[in-house]
Chains A and B, each alone.
Chain A
Amino acid sequence: MARVVILGAGVAGHTAALHLRRMIGREHTITVVSPNSQWNWIPSNIWVGVGVMSKKDVVFPLAPIYRRKGIDFRQAKAVAVRPEGDETDPTGAVDIVYTDPARKDQQERLRYDYLVNATGPKLRFEATEGLGPHGGNSVSVCTADHAVEASAALRASIERMKRGERQTLIVGTGHGTCTCEGAAFEYTFNVDHELKEAGVRDKAELIYLTNEAQLGDFGVDGMLFSQRGYQQSSRMWTESLFTERGVHSILGAHVHKVDPGVVHYETLDGEMHEQPFDFAMLLPPFGGVDLKAYDRAGNDISETMFNPAGFMKVDADYTPKPYEEWRAEDWPETYEVPGRPNVFAVGIAFAPPHQISRPQKTRNGTMIAPAPPRTGMPSGIMGKTVAMTIRDRINGQPAAVHKASLAKIGAACVASAGTGMREGSAAAMSMFPVVPDYQRYPGSGGRDFKGTRGDIGLFGHWVKYSLHHLFIYKAKALPGWQYIPE
């Protein structure tokens, strides 16, 4: 009998748990630990944030699904990993603290034979003074509750425009090291659409403020597309969209501080600027969640298992080297923690070996370096891949390993730019692979033209809308869920 413990019930952890449950016999236990009682389809928070969907459209309770599937669910947060066990028992263990109202703050040590860390990001609003909805001066769409608040603030701003007031709306990244620029981009164009729908677009200055050095970078060093016999860059493509829609932009920015109604930021040239605003949705930088690691004697070994940002180190090449020397092969394939063949980290929780976009420092020493995105599709694939490895190892093949490197996986990013089955629109991008491999695909931006494309149109909205329904269906583990790809 094997005990599998999965930390986190987001895209990566939930996918791993559901697949593993159908792959291994009931004599083996699967325990999912997650502090939230609900599952959230995070990409659709964008629509909650502009008021076209409500919170209940994007979340559902996890416990009934896990009960139906025979997965043990603990509504709790993991606080420590003990890969060598403790003085009483050498079996690996995790310390959890319940957030379940019925057992609130109770602690427990769970033993595991296999551990999957899929704890996702810690939203580090505190990295920028005044950032974020928790006592700060900007809103966010990172959680469904944040998005509900963002929607109310946007509506209030629209009401003022209807009364004839002009408003400045800023959407973007709240720190120089943010990731997920695609989400900020998407929210920008949904706001643009809502302003038009409300008949107040002419009353608004809409500004996209980003840490990307140029539009279309998206934290993946941009993309090259082959279209109508020409190579086109994602930069040109994105600049076209911004110009067409009249959306303004601030590039290469690190936000130092958000005061009520004013963003203070520095640009790549080292100049300091202030931008007044009436509404600001700024994403926080991500870090790993607060997890510690201890050896058998109880000594803190967190530094050996996590990078300084708190992400778990896996089978990547973390040797520091200049940007020009970074290679696709540096990226992890198995997500196994070195020296600990029964511990894995997937999704946003694993430590990337380096940025994909060129990191830059201003003359004042401020880092402006978009972090690599680890989006939904690759997170799901990583979760399933690790589930397959664990399945084989449980079934008596201790050396079995399945691989899914971000330098070999593709990703799709469908950035909605307005809803409606006839008048909606979205910028749909696909890239293959996510991490460019300049050796394998020279002359095409490190990617395969066959899988790398950008297009704008109504079809993109249909894709986005169908993904919303498909993924919620799949996450609910309804009949045939396993045939829906990650």
Chain B
Amino acid sequence: MEYSEKVMDHFMNPRNCGVLSDANAVGEVGNAKCGDIMKIYMKIENDIIKDIKFQTFGCCAAIATSSMATELIKGKPISDALNLTNKAVVEALDGLPPVKIHCSVLAEEAIKAALANYFRSIGNNEEADKLDASCDGCCEHCDCGKH
């Protein structure tokens, strides 16, 4: 598997890896059968993602995309996170091998799952429902048509 230098850097030195004990937004996607699970923790204040952490079970690409995705939205408004696409994460990593694109999907969906969790906790079910789409980031058996 040939990875870009950026992917290897984020894999070897992941940013924002760990657990956030005072998170008010938590999302998890993927499953162990598929071979990758991503969990995102965020601390959101005044619509700003003050802090963010991730835990990932998965390959180099899964770990690197988690790291990059968290870095791209840390300190940013929620609206930026909502607009984050898996494509943007891939580009920021200088590309991924084609078979690994689903890892970036996982990162996008994990963030969306965390945001849905946040919206629901503040009673904004409408926004939450929009995010709770059919995609669980597990591309192998997926026909969500979103990515």
A and B bound?
no
Interface residues of B (CB under 8 A from A): none
Interface residues of A (CB under 8 A from B): none
